[in-house]
Structure 1
């Protein structure tokens, strides 16, 4: 495996402290609690230099006006990632803890994303309208400018590609703040971009343990847009801080995803898929299944089915092929979720109680939890846990199912399970969520836009609409000369 150290990449140069420096930050293996990698921390001058490099590259080079160059860079980037796929997957599992098959899925999604937007880069069209005889409005599509991408640690490769690919296809230049926990992965991914012949300064990356650099990105008038994936609390702080410069915001925030199961559904399939969807990345995914709403006619059967399915999930190291769920990102997160489970015993029926794995105190392992909650005002329904905790609820008819599903401030994803396609589509249309899967879950792809309603975010990523977050329209009016 490559040396797992994350340097800063600024204006085409790798810089920052070496792994031997005492000032380097540590990346901890969630499976063991031991140091797995290091990263060079950025100071303010590094972030300022990254912003300046991106600004200069946008204002002074042909990058924004060279769609064929951008398309080729994205294709070469994807091909390099494909060639190094297994190597980077192993590093991702090492520093993130997720299962190797989850790392493989993430890499595959990122490669697909890059190839999709390589095609889009050469198909960015404006339009010309003759508003009256001899009078024309030319609507030109232009790159937004300098964009900052603030990455989370839970899916650092896929979520980087999801923002970076459309940003580069549009002609933007970019400054990336990598999550410290997974920063060596980000560095290795961007090394592929460097080898693709990217012009200096078009993409820059830094890592920090605090938020000073991120705050500078948000407040700087030299940055035109922010693409952020993370919590609602931080998303709201970004909105407030960005108001001074009125910059474009693309925010994918939290979720509390409900899954409605009717009595005529394929129940065994629903239990199997939703068990996997609630434990994917140890529940640390914004679209993870976190609530199951079951028709009262099948409630008794489904309680036992979900309890048995979740109780049989094999929790272990991500590198172990036998594992069905890996650890949380760190022991602090494990203990936070364990504390929520402890409090849940006072307000919910505990159908299956999760606990840390015995004999593995250094690992951030926590087995799944299943609780039944009747009060939709409960924090277990209203707040994102970001861990392997599934809430069981019941309903009597469609209206109640929809009312309960929509009873939170979130609106990122949901699913409907029924053998009646017309009913499933009818219910899906009334759910206040950006994505609804019917008899399926977590089907995400480059071609189909995703994003949140309400407090789950702003804008859309994936698909053609993602370009709107990184482009703007200019109106140029002219008339025939007499």
Structure 2
């Protein structure tokens, strides 16, 4: 693949460089090599993109035409599918994740778009006869301009799960990618932008290395919906800054996912699966397993098996087919997570596996080896704070009640998993966990049909599934007194 990839802003159906001709480079985190460059914008580009989206929304050709919206989404999905291998390779080069994960992400992206294409023609309201001759009609209509701030860790799927429901209901959109992954975002949107039937301005894209454009999206009343995936701290700031405009917010924020392993579980088969769940995207996924709570009777056994499974993972360049974990997104993130892991090692009861920055052949990349610690106090900072990297904490419990109490002792509530052969136990424990998603004998199973989102400080709203349409719609009530037949 060429090293000369160039990504521009997309505004009103046209591709533009930045107003001041500013550019930034995108590099491969596995080796620091330059992949290409992208136009580096800011508030001016954001304002122009919002204005274009506003004009497109005010024309009924898009916002009131569900059959057109379905056809556009279906064409986009087919175009992405036809180029999925090339896109997966670009995703791996820019993000660092292993190629198998990138291929899986592209499959999920296409599936997501097709799912919402189906729903584009099924966004019904309802009608009530409230008294003789009096009717109330509830219509679900698009909220308006939706600003989508897309993270770098799964830029294809997380773009699709936000833009697809927004477009399906008739919103127009402004997309702002993370500065680490602008090339793949532009490559994903280009086939959509080139669809002849798509009205100009329905989709818009601008990239920036700063924050002025994103701040404008949050603050302007010309944006009716703001969708953000990222840290809880940033989500809290967005809520505060968006309050004056009272815009709809869809926020998926931090997580500290627990895996609860009971005494009847098969630890030998579970340990390798939890190692993978903990190191997906090098531990940079909000639903990744962070804490493993194990019944005391299996604690020693699980500690050995989990340490062995993590230690045996092959860490290397994402394009290497044998690699099971790639680098972190960049060197700044690598150094920050390495420092957090070093602090956790110093304060933990036991360091089972001391993952550090590697030397030798991996030294030039943003790599960090997996780590495992065992600890008894679930109030420790590394049990409470989201460390966005390959660190796993092992804890023990003596009863269901203690396991649930430990797992719920957190400000987050995004996801968890329960591992047991007793079906009734699995369901009652899952019901007691304060999480938006709980998997039984599995972890990280995410797909278009099932809503995801969190309790407490893990966010507000739901993406994936039918309920995602709610984040981009308003309900309008029409009342009419028709009178009675005389």
TM bracket (short chain): over 0.9
SS in 1 for 2:244: coil
C-alpha displacement of 1:269: 2.3
Matched, 1:301 2:301: yes
Structure-1 residue corresponding to 2:218: 218
Question: Where does residue 372 of structure 2 map in the other structure?
Answer: 370
Displacement, 1:202?
A: 0.4
Q: CA offset at residue 33 of structure 1?
A: 1.6
Describe how 1:249-264 pairs up with structure 2 within 5 A: 249-264=249-264
Look up the SS of the partner of 2:204 in the other structure.
strand
Task: Kindly indicate whether the alpha-carbon contact (under 8 Å) linking 2:22 and 2:41 is maintained by their aligned counterparts in 1.
Answer: no
- 1:195 deviates by 2.4
Shift of 1:61: 3.8
Q: Deviations over 1:236-268 (max 9, x none)?
A: 000000001000000000000000000111222
In the alignment, is the contact (CA less than 8 A) between 1:77 and 1:195 conserved in 2? Answer: no
**Equivalents in 2 of 1:338, 1:195: separation in Å?**
43
Partner of 2:69: 70
Contact 2:148-2:162 within 8 A present in 1 as well: yes
Matching of residue 354 in structure 1 with residue 355 in structure 2: yes
Cα-to-partner distance string for 1:433-480 (whole Å, 9 max, x where unaligned): 000000011111111111000000000011110000001100100011
Aligned residue in 2 for 1:475 = 477
Write the distance in 2 (CA, Å) between the matches of 1:163 and 1:266.
37
Deviation at 1:179, TM superposition (A): 1.0
Alignment of 1:46-85 (within 5 A): 46-85=45-84
- Decide whether the 8 Å contact of 1:291 with 1:391 is kept in 2: yes
2:272 equivalent in structure 1: 272
User: Cα offset for 1:62?
Assistant: 1.9
Equivalent-residue separation in structure 2 for 1:315 and 1:356 (angstroms): 11
Distance of 1:304 and 1:196 partners within structure 2: 54
Does structure 2 retain, via aligned residues, the 8 Å contact 1:6–1:184?
A: yes
- Separation in 2, partners of 1:7, 1:462: 28
CA shift digits 1:107-158 (9 cap, x unpaired) = 1111000000001001111111100110100101100100000011101000
Give CA deviations for 1:360-391 in whole Å, capped at 9, x if unaligned: 33201111000112111111011000100000
Aligned residue number for residue 162 of structure 2: 163
1:22 deviates by: 8.0
Of 398, 403, 407, 1:401 maps to 403
Q: Which residue of 1 aligns with 2:446?
A: 444
The 4+ residue runs of structure 1 with deviation greater than 4 A are none
- Alpha-carbon shift at residue 192 of structure 1 (Å): 1.1
Q: CA deviation at 1:60?
A: 2.5
- Which residue does 2:392 correspond to in 1? 390
How many angstroms does 1:46 deviate by? 1.4
- TM-fit CA distance, 1:23: 3.1
Query: Are the equivalent residues in 2 in contact too, given 1:67–1:121 (CA < 8 A)?
Result: yes
* Deviation of 1:481 (Å): 4.0
The number of equivalent residue pairs is 480
Helix, strand or coil: the match of 2:181?
Answer: helix
Does the aligned pair in 1 maintain the 2:21–2:39 contact within 8 Å?
A: no
State the match for 2:202 in structure 1: 202
Distance in 2 (CA, whole Å) between partners of 1:269 and 1:193 is 43
Give 1:162 deviation, angstroms.
0.3
Cα distance in 2 for partners of 1:362, 1:101 equals 22
Query: Counterpart in 1 of 2:17?
Result: 16
The match for 1:456 is: 458
Per the TM alignment, residue 44 of structure 1 is displaced from its structure 2 partner at its CA by: 2.2
Q: TM-score, normalised by structure 1?
A: 0.98
CA distance in 2, matches of 1:345, 1:96: 27
- Structure 1 residue 128 and structure 2 residue 123: aligned? no
**Equivalent residue number for residue 281 of structure 1:** 281
Which ranges in structure 1 are unaligned for 5 or more consecutive residues? none
> Residues 401-440 of structure 1 correspond to what in structure 2 (within 5 A)?
401-440=403-442
Supply the distance in 2 between the matched residues of 1:263 and 1:133 (Cα, whole angstroms).
Answer: 62
Query: What are the superposed Cα offsets for residues 400-430 of structure 1, whole Å, 9 maximum, x if unpaired?
Result: 0000000010000000000001001000000
Question: Considering only aligned residues, what root-mean-square deviation do their CA atoms show, in Å?
Answer: 1.3
| Shift of residue 26, structure 1, vs aligned partner | 1.1
SS of residue in 2 equivalent to 1:319: coil
2: distance between equivalents of 1:477 and 1:17? 48
1:247 aligned partner: 247
**Which one is further off, 303-312 or 42-51?**
42-51
* TM-score (ref. length: structure 2): 0.97
Work out the CA distance in 2 between the residues paired with 1:256 and 1:147: 28
Asked if structure 2 preserves the Cα contact closer than 8 Å seen for 1:37 and 1:95, the reply is no
Secondary structure of the corresponding residue to residue 163 of structure 1: helix
| CA–CA distance in structure 2, aligned partners of residues 105 and 170 of structure 1 | 26
